[in-house]
Structure formats: C-alpha cells, structure tokens
Structure 1
Amino acid sequence: MKLISFKHSFIALGALLSLASCDNAEKLEVKGDGVVLEKDFYKTEKDAYSGLIAAYDKLGKYAGAMENAPLLLLNSASDDFYAGGGNNADQPGLQVMNNYTVSPTNIPPAVWANYFQGVARCNIMVVKLPGIDMDAAKKARFMAEVKALRAYYYFDLVRLFGNVPLRLTPYTREEIAITVQATPAMVYAQIEKDLNDAIADLPVTLASDELGRFTKGAATALLGKVYLYDNKKPEAAAELAKVNGTPGSTSSFGYKLLDKFADLWNHKNKFNTESIFEISYSSEGNTTWNNFEKDGDDEGNLVSQLSGMRNYKRTAAGITAGMPDYINGWGFMVVTDDLANALKTDPRFASTIFDAAAEVAAKHITYDPSYQETGYHFIKYSPLNSDIGTSEGALNFGVNTYIIRLADTYLMEAEALGGTGPRAQALLDAVRGRVGLTPIPVSIPAILAERRLELAGEGHRWYDLVRTGEAASKLAFKGFMAGKNELWPIPYSEFNNTKMVQNPLYN
C-alpha cells in the first residue's frame, strides 16, 4: 500500500465523520463504484483495506491543506515564524494564529473537523473489522493500525484543544445532541491504551508498497512521546529507549541517524533510516483547483508551495553561483530574526534557512517581499522547479513530511531522563555530533535549545513552548495570553446541538 496515493480510497459522506456531520449517515461513496449503503460494505478484505486507507487519509492534511494545515498553523503561532503571505489578510486563519487574535469564529474549522473525521473513520473500522471474513493476522494488523491512528489523531486534538469529546464508536444522530467533553486525563489514558494495544500486532518493517503505514517502532515512539506530554517521564524514557537503542548506532528497529543533516532534506531520500513516522505526498496526484481540498483528491504537499518565496528568480550571476532553482511560491512561513540569529552559526542553518536578503545584496536573486518580511525563508520542504509534476504543480508537490524522526526521539528521551546522567549526555552528544558540534553539558535547557535548532519548522516548537511553560514569555511579542492561548478555541460551528463548552477566555 503506497500512501502517496489515496485515489482508490472510499470517502464516507455524512457518516458522522465530524461532530457536525449527520446527513446521509448510511451512505458511502466509493470512488469509481458509485454509492452503496454502509450496511452492505465492510464485508470483505478489500472493504477492510479501503476502510484502512480512509483512516490514514486524514494524515495528509498535516501539510496538504491551505490555512487549515496544522504544520502551517503551528509554525505561524510559534516564535520561529511569521505567517507571511502577501499581506495581513492573506490566508486569514494563519494570520490570526500569528498575532493571537484567534477566536471561535475565525479559527479554520477544518482543523478540528479533519482530526475528528480521522477519529470517526478509525471508530468505524474498530466496530466493523471483527465481523469481516479475512485472514486473522491481517485483521489483527489492521486493527492495530487504526488504534494507532486513533491515538495519533486524539493526541493532536488533546494538545491543541484540551477538553475534547472522547468517542470510541461511531455516533448516532441522537447522540450528537448529548455530546460532552472528556478531561485531558481521560483522553491521555485512552491514547496510551490504544497504543499499548496496537504495538504487539504491528510489523517491525514494511514492504516497499506499504511505506507510510504504522510500524511497531513508530507506535512505540508515539507512545513514548505521549507519556512525556502526560508527565510520565520514567515510562516515556523506557519506551523511547526501545526506539533509540545505543545513541549513534542502529537500533533494534533499524533506526539510525543519517550521517549528514542535509540528506534529511533531499526530497528523494524518503523513508530513510532516521524516519520513524513520515507522511507521504504525491507529485502525480489528480489535484486541480476544481477538486482542491476535497477528500481523497488532495495528495500534494501544500506547505511546499505556500512557504516558497514570492516571484523568486535567479540572475545570471546567481545561476553561475549555484543558487537553487526554487519554485515561485506564495511567501508564507517567514523566518523570524530570532530563529535566524539562533541558527546563524550553526551547521544546520544552510539546510533550514535561506538568507534571501544576502543573496539579493549579492545580486544572485530577486524576489518579492512577504508580509512581515525578514529576509530569511524556510527551505526544509522547499521544492525546485524540477520537482513540479502534474499540470497543477502548485498543488501536487511530492515532498514528504516527518512526524517523528530519530533525532527527535533522542532529545525526548534525554528530556524524559531529567536532562542528566551519562545516557542523556550521550543522546544529546549524538544529535550535536552528527552536525560537527562539540559536546556541551546536558541539561533540560540545553536539550530544549537543541530541539529548536534541530527540529526548526517541523511543527514541534509551539508544543514545546506550551508544555514547558515558556510560551507566555517567548510569545509575548505576538500577543500570547497566559491562561488562554495554551489551547486553541473550539470552532463556533461545532457547538450546534451539543453540550460542549468553550475553552477558557474564548467566550
């Protein structure tokens, strides 16, 4: 199963995939096969496989959407990036996250809806799989995958929105009206249960046509991360140690740091030894402006296009100097001076940030400034013109995104160990040593500083600031309010006919 192509997946229409969806609940649209009743589906292994693909499909929204892409929203809300774009009204959802004027009425509602649609697709599979006539081992694996996926979706939901409904079976129409929220502790307990249930039946390795699916190592890494956020540090350290093995060596799961940091950002170097969980995107999808952001059709990485420099052009001197042939992008995710200065003397700068202002001064390039332009642009996911695939190339970049990679789990384990001791030191040293940096004494501040530099732009920084209590001070310049902005507002549209309550200070 290649998850870079979702065009053969089914799409449940109105099958209560989000809390606000309750029409046509018995119908399923199967692409190419018309419409069938849900009671007539989920009979065969082929049906189960279609349901599994549909459960995975919502992963693609992470970087495969416009202003509702979590990666863009998280970066825009952090101290590492400005939203950018053409002006202060360009993709307004990103702008309100950037300046902390976000409210229940202006937050992109698809963020909440996409995650809950993912949960609902997993719930359907959990209910339907036991009754499907298929190979028992394969059925167990499918069940493990949908439980791991449900854990993934709920982990982001609880981190972003706090008190969220916890649902483990499909909603009926009548149950919508009595929907209430669970406490974060209840959600974390279920996430941990799902992952612990899933790990035993997941494979250690994947066949070439299965890349992108959950493995035992990916679920173990996610469980370790969940334990860390749930403040269960001994449990986190134990799970992450299974993933990491001996720092700098190949782990029992086959993970190993790449020798060169820059190789992580060679977009052809997919599913490498450092990649633990990775979302696939396609450059040969069928996405056009006519079906853009419709389920099953949006297969490209939109962050690649959105974060590209506006009207970027190389001069003759720039071509001679070897300037990259970047696409003309839309100018979002402008790097802040603070991040640029933190990385300026770091070996990872060249693979993370493009100093566009310096290259303009050298007469190597020209480009149009973005809103809140600093002269620095994010390039980890930047495509070249040679990466353009289909005729609607802007919507179909096949640039994968990392959700968890080994350097991340090294640093999480070091943190879970309390930032002290020889193993924590070895984990930190391995991350720094890979880029030629000398050892520094391990500590929690040193680990968190290393996370910022190593993982810049990969969607971790905002979460790190919030969970460590640094958000109020680090994000004050953007308008962050303590006691409020640690959680995002629940979209206003989700309160129709439910008993949910809004997060504090957003009413």
Structure 2
Amino acid sequence: MKLKIYRLPILAVALLATIFSCSEDYLEVDPSGQFLSGNYYANETEAFAGLVAEYDFMRKNSGGFENMVTMMNAGSDDHYAGGGNSTDGAGIQSFSNYTLNAIEMPSSFWSDYYKGIFRANMMILKLPDVPMDETLKARYMAESKALRAYYHFNLVRLFKNIPLFTAPVDPAETYNVVQSTPEEVYAQIEIDLLDAIAGLPTTLNSDELGRFTKGAAQAVLGKVYLEQGKKAEAAAQFAAVNGTPGATSPYGYKLLANFNDLWQIDNKFNTESILEVTHTNLSLAGWGNAYNDDAEGNMICTMVGPRGFVDLDVNDNVPAYSSGWSFNPIIPELYDLLKNDPRFEATVLDLKALSEQGKIQYSPGYQDTGYFLNKFAPTVAEEHTGAGDMWLNHRQNSYVIRLADTYLLEAEALNGTGTRAQALLDAVRARVGLPSIPVSMDNILAERRLELAGEGHRWFDLRRNGKLQAKLASRGFVSGKHEIFPIPYKELENTKLVQNPNY
C-alpha cells in the first residue's frame, strides 16, 4: 500500500472514534463506538475524542521500536545502534553506519506523522460545524494547528522534500500527490503555530497535562525558526518561553534544582517540562499489537536496557535493573566527557565497571561498550505485571522539549555572544554545580551534548551547525546525501513523489 495515510479518509474515520487513552490520568476518553465520516464530530464529546486521537502520534518520540529518540541517537556520534546483532532492526543499523536506503528506511517515520496530520486536518475541517462552546472550539482548533505544524516539522526536517497537506485528500487523488518545496512547508508551519499560539492556554489543569500550551507552541516555533537559520526570530520566541535565566518564566517554567529529578519516573510534568509525551503501564499492548496506536508504553526503556542483567551484589548496592535489548550503547568518547561531570550518574549506567567489580552480570549485545543510557534504563521496580507485556508498557514519560534545551537554543540563536547568552549558559551549568565558562558557539554545543545526552537532539545539533561530516565521516557519512533520510520506497511506488538526491 503506497502513501497509506492518505487513504484513511475512507477507512480510518470510522476508526477515529476508537480512542486510545494516552496516560494513566491525562487525556483519557472511553471508547464510545464507531462513527461514519458523515456524522462524526456530531457533538463536543466526539470532538474531544477526535482531539485525543490527534495526540496519539506524539508518542512517535519514544513509543514503538521505531521511535525518534533511539533512531536519532543511533546516527549520532554519541551512540552506536547496538541491539542483538548487525541485522537487529535494519533501519536503525543502517542509519548508524550510513548505509540507509529507501528499502530499509522504516516507513513509519513517514506514515505515522502523516496519520497525525490527517487527523488534525479532519478536525480542522469538521470543527466549525460542531455544536459546542465557541471558546472551547477555538482551543481545539489551536491545538489541531499546533499538532499539524509539529508533525509537518518532524517530516520536513527528516526528509526535507515532502507533500504539504492542509486538508484531507480525496482517495482518488492519492497517487497524484506531489512534494512541496521545503520553504512552502516551513511557511505553513509558521502560520499554523502563530495561529495556535494566539488560541492556546498558558497553563493546564491537572486533567489536561500532555496537551499543547502557548509556551510549548512558542518553543516549537523557536526550533522551526532556528532550523531555517532565522536566528533573530528564534531568539525572540525562546526568550518569551525562557524568561529571566535561572528564574521562573512567565509561563511558570523553571529549571529543577536537581538534575537527577528529571529522570524520576513519577516526576511527570515538572516545572522544566515544556512539551512531554505521556506513557502508561496500563495499556494492553502485547506482541500481537506491539506497534499499533494502542501500544502506549515507552519503548526507549526496553530498547536501551542491558541484555540478561543479573544482580550479584549481596549488599544490594546496585539498583535492580530490568533486562532490555541493549540498543544505543554510549561510545567511549561521550563516557570520557561525562565521567567527571555532575550529570554522569543520571546519564550513564556503567555496567562495565560493575561487571569488573563482580557486582553484576549481563550479556553483551552488538557493539557493546559496557556503557548504557541511564536516563531511560528500566528497573524491576517499574516492571508491569498486568495484562499487557511488561517490555511494551514502561510508564516513563519522555521530554520533547525541556527548559534547559530552550535555554541553550536561545543562546545559540544569539550566536553565542552577549550577556543574555552568557546568563543562559551559566544557568544550565549552575544547576549542576558547574562554574561559568565563556559563552561561545562551541561551548554551547558542548553543553548541549552533555546536558541532553541520549535524548535524541545531538544529530540535529550537528547538522544545524554544519558538523555532521567532521564528526561522522568515519561512520560512513557522506555530505550532500546523509543530511536527510531517503523517502521509504513503498511511499514512492506508483506515485508522483520524487526520491531525495543520491538515494
């Protein structure tokens, strides 16, 4: 099936009302049957169900085997692909060693985001005629535009040459779709986000956590501007989000005092969280439906966990880690950079040292270094024993954007100069007890590497700053080709879409 997302208007609208709860307590809607496209969104309840369905594809960040974080980590200079062997996940392996082609390119990085765009477009089309409170309607419209922009943004920065959709496409026209220019896509993203910002709330009630706010949309817009080199515009958006460095921002954001608290699983939606993906251990996901929309667990946890972990420490000084699949092993260079940094313990699980001390055993995976990503390392205490499979139902949320990220992005947008850029860099370092260093583009990029290690940002940071070739040539990176992904082959077949250059 080619461009399968665009054939959804016939089949998927009937399924749209089969809504999947997005967390334990957030954005929960009970399924209420199925509706045909002609009468769907007949009332406020159905509109809310449709809105929840739009948010499903935010989980692409950390849900499913083909998630953004572990994929982008694998292609960076901080991690290898890892896993069981050199063929364990053809897409992630070939991205890591820069042999990725259109056949091996995981199609979900294309199709999942277009599914989200389809759902947003359906809402935007239908919402004006729904009999409901006009203020609430305006908010749903703003959220739908923010989500459509976010999904388009991920597509254009991954693939560059993509179709732009601002309305549902007739199934008969599916094969006639052509790509827009990146400039056209970015222009629409900016329009959507500016419209959304005007209609989004600044804060959320406790039962709304996980939804877009004004600050989240401005942070995404800042990233959109920065990706295009519009640094002045990016800095302005980030400044509105960040406020005074180190203080509580106008939107209520504030760096956590303790870096380790960012990775406490129950510390969800904390003051540093700007945009966060919700996960739950209560879904029924098993191997039969592991990658469907109702699989709501955080798969990073399973993917980065060590294989065959055994605790041999009779004094119980070693946390009881759960076994995983050993993806994204940390390379020695990053280990060496972090080993004297206050963020080391929260970031790196050093099983090499524990194994040499006789405190643990594990089964080395492919490209094993002995260094694992501790930010998402699964523990026995968090194992799920319900109806779903434990490996598919980790409940740790993931950050799409957090405040330390936007601090450093604003400093970058300011070209790494000036008192404000210095204050932003200082605030990130002071939070972990590090002294001030002179602000510069190199020092900002180095700080992002340590602060955000393993969170999926490093590869984009290198590309944005023109450093992919220098850092990844030894892995096979070829300038002029590997800055973007190939479009998956099955999305091209019998269509008017054109493959990206050199693939």
Shorter-chain TM band: over 0.9
Q: Return the alpha-carbon distance in structure 1 between the equivalents of residues 16 and 213 of structure 2.
A: 29
Deviation at 1:25, TM superposition (A): 6.5
2:165 maps to which of 167, 171, 191: 167
- After superposing the two structures, state which structure 1 stretch, 21-30 or 100-109, moved more: 21-30
Q: Return the alpha-carbon distance in structure 2 between the equivalents of residues 329 and 24 of structure 1.
A: 36
| Structure 1 position 62 matched with structure 2 position 36 | no
Is 2:81–2:92's contact at 8 Å kept on the other side of the alignment?
yes
Structure 2 partner of 1:28: 15
Is 2:17–2:50's contact at 8 Å kept on the other side of the alignment?
no
Q: Return the alpha-carbon distance in structure 1 between the equivalents of residues 97 and 64 of structure 2.
A: 21
Q: State the AA in 2 paired with 1:58.
A: F
> TM-score by structure 1 length?
0.94
Q: Return the alpha-carbon distance in structure 2 between the equivalents of residues 227 and 33 of structure 1.
A: 40
Structure 2 partner of 1:40: 39
Structure 1 partner of 2:26: none
Structure 2 partner of 1:373: 368
| Structure 1 position 487 matched with structure 2 position 490 | no
1:441 maps to which of 438, 443, 459: 438
Q: Return the alpha-carbon distance in structure 1 between the equivalents of residues 252 and 14 of structure 2.
A: 43
Per-residue CA shift, 1:403-423, capped at 9, x if unaligned?
000000000111111100000
Structure 1 runs not aligned, ≥5 long: 1-13
Deviation at 1:19, TM superposition (A): 3.9
Deviation at 1:71, TM superposition (A): 1.3
Q: Return the alpha-carbon distance in structure 1 between the equivalents of residues 446 and 248 of structure 2.
A: 25
Is 1:243–1:253's contact at 8 Å kept on the other side of the alignment?
yes
* 1:332 alignment partner, SS class: coil
Provide the alpha-carbon RMSD of the alignment: 1.5
Q: State the AA in 1 paired with 2:85.
A: N
1:420 maps to which of 417, 422, 425: 417
Matches within 5 A, 1:19-418: 19=6, 24=11, 27-28=14-15, 30-31=17-18, 33-66=32-65, 68-295=66-293, 297-317=294-314, 319-320=315-316, 322-389=317-384, 390-391=386-387, 392-418=389-415
Q: 1:188 to 1:29 in 2, by over 3 A?
A: closer
Q: Return the alpha-carbon distance in structure 1 between the equivalents of residues 11 and 365 of structure 2.
A: 44
Q: State the AA in 1 paired with 2:456.
A: G
Q: Return the alpha-carbon distance in structure 1 between the equivalents of residues 435 and 297 of structure 2.
A: 39
Structure 2 partner of 1:451: 448
Deviation at 1:24, TM superposition (A): 3.6
Is 1:17–1:121's contact at 8 Å kept on the other side of the alignment?
no
Is 1:20–1:494's contact at 8 Å kept on the other side of the alignment?
no
Q: State the AA in 2 paired with 1:85.
A: G
Structure 1 partner of 2:5: 18
* 2:328 alignment partner, SS class: strand
Following superposition, which runs of at least 4 residues in structure 1 exceed 2 angstroms of deviation? 19-36
Is 2:17–2:46's contact at 8 Å kept on the other side of the alignment?
no
Q: Return the alpha-carbon distance in structure 2 between the equivalents of residues 284 and 309 of structure 1.
A: 23
Q: 1:264 to 1:93 in 2, by over 3 A?
A: same
Structure 1 partner of 2:22: none
- After superposing the two structures, state which structure 1 stretch, 328-337 or 35-44, moved more: 35-44
* 1:333 alignment partner, SS class: coil
* 1:190 alignment partner, SS class: helix
Deviation at 1:55, TM superposition (A): 0.6
- Percent pairwise identity: 52
Is 1:28–1:38's contact at 8 Å kept on the other side of the alignment?
no
Q: Return the alpha-carbon distance in structure 2 between the equivalents of residues 263 and 91 of structure 1.
A: 32
Q: 1:29 to 1:164 in 2, by over 3 A?
A: closer
Q: Return the alpha-carbon distance in structure 2 between the equivalents of residues 497 and 347 of structure 1.
A: 54
Is 2:323–2:378's contact at 8 Å kept on the other side of the alignment?
no
Deviation at 1:61, TM superposition (A): 2.2
* 1:145 alignment partner, SS class: helix
Deviation at 1:477, TM superposition (A): 1.9
Matched residues, number: 488
Is 1:19–1:494's contact at 8 Å kept on the other side of the alignment?
no
Q: State the AA in 2 paired with 1:348.
A: R
When you count strand as a share of all residues, which structure comes out higher?
1
Q: 1:258 to 1:29 in 2, by over 3 A?
A: closer
Deviation at 1:22, TM superposition (A): 7.1
Q: Return the alpha-carbon distance in structure 2 between the equivalents of residues 126 and 243 of structure 1.
A: 26
Is 1:326–1:383's contact at 8 Å kept on the other side of the alignment?
yes
Q: Return the alpha-carbon distance in structure 1 between the equivalents of residues 445 and 378 of structure 2.
A: 29
> TM-score by structure 2 length?
0.94
* 1:377 alignment partner, SS class: strand
